[in-house]
Amino acid sequence: MPKTEVILTHNIVGLGAESDQVKVAAGYARNYLFPHRLAVPLTSANKRQIEALRQRRAEREAHEFNSMSELARSISKLTALIKVKTGDDGKMFGSVTSGTIADELKHQFDITLDKRKIHLEHPIRTLGDHDVELRLHAEVNTTLKVHVESLNPLPQPVAPEKGDSRRGPREGGYRTEKRGHRPEPKAEKSEKSDKVEKAEKPEKGDKAEKAHAPAKGAKAPKAEKAK
C-alpha cells in the first residue's frame, strides 16, 4: 500500500499533533485527512505553516493542562455512587468497569470523560468504597472515590435481647420462663422445720406428768432417816 507524507493541522489521537510530519496510507490521507482538513500534503509551500501550527499547538496544550488540573481538583472531592444487583449473599452480579464509571460521571455530575482515562487494573466486583485512578493528562492524575451499593436490601443480623439476671436461662436468645412466673420453693425445708419445732415443744397436761412418773414395778426411793 503506497504511503504519503503529510503535515497534521489538528491533534489526532494515536497519530500525532499539530505541526507533526507523519507518513500515512495514501488512501487514508486522500479520503479522510484532506477532506476533513486534518492534514495537508507535505510541500515546500505548506512547510511555511509549520511554525504557526506549533504556536497553536502550544496554546492548545497549555489550555488542556489548565482545564485538566482544575477538573482533577473537582473530581478529587467527589464520590460516585454506583448501584448494582446482588444475590442474597451480597455478591455482585457482573462488575463495575471503566465504561460504567464514565457513564455515572456524566449522569451524576455532568462530567464527560473518555473511559480510556479511567485506569482500572481489574473491574470492581465487591461492594463498598474504592479508589479509582484517573489519568486526565500526560502530567495530571487524580483519584475518584467510587461507592458501590446493592440495589436490593441485604439481610440484617438480628441482635439478641439484653440479658436479665432476675429471669431464667435463655434458649436461642429467648427466655424460657414467662414474665412474672417464678419457680415454687422446695417442700423439704418446710417439712424439716416442722419436725424441729415439734421436738422442741413440751408436751401438755397428763402426757408431761406421765413422762416424769416412775415406771411400773420400780421401787420408790427411800426417805433418808433423820440423824
pLDDT of amino acid 60 = 93
- What is the CATH number that goes with domain 3-69? 3.40.5.10
**Max Cα-Cα span within the chain:** 178
Q: What are phi and psi of 60, to 5 degrees?
A: -65, -45
- Indicate where the chain has its CATH 3.40.5.10 domain(s): 3-69
Cβ atoms of residues 136 and 68 within 8 Å:
yes
pLDDT under 70: residue ranges of the chain: 1, 153-227
- Indicate where the chain has its CATH 3.10.430.100 domain(s): 76-150
* Angle ∠(106,111,115) on CA atoms, nearest 5: 70
pLDDT of amino acid 97 = 95
pLDDT of amino acid 45 = 87
Q: Find all residues with CB under 8 Å of 144, minimum gap 6, and list them.
A: 75, 76, 78, 80, 101, 105, 118, 131, 132, 134
- Cα separation of 135 and 148, whole Å? 21
**Each residue's pLDDT tens digit, 98-143:** 999 999 999 999 999 999 999 999 999 999 999 999 999 989 999 9
| Fold that domain 76-150 belongs to in CATH | Ribosomal Protein L9; domain 2 (3.10.430)
- Using the structure block, give the residue that is written with the C-alpha cell 483519584: 143
| pTM (whole model) above 0.85 | no
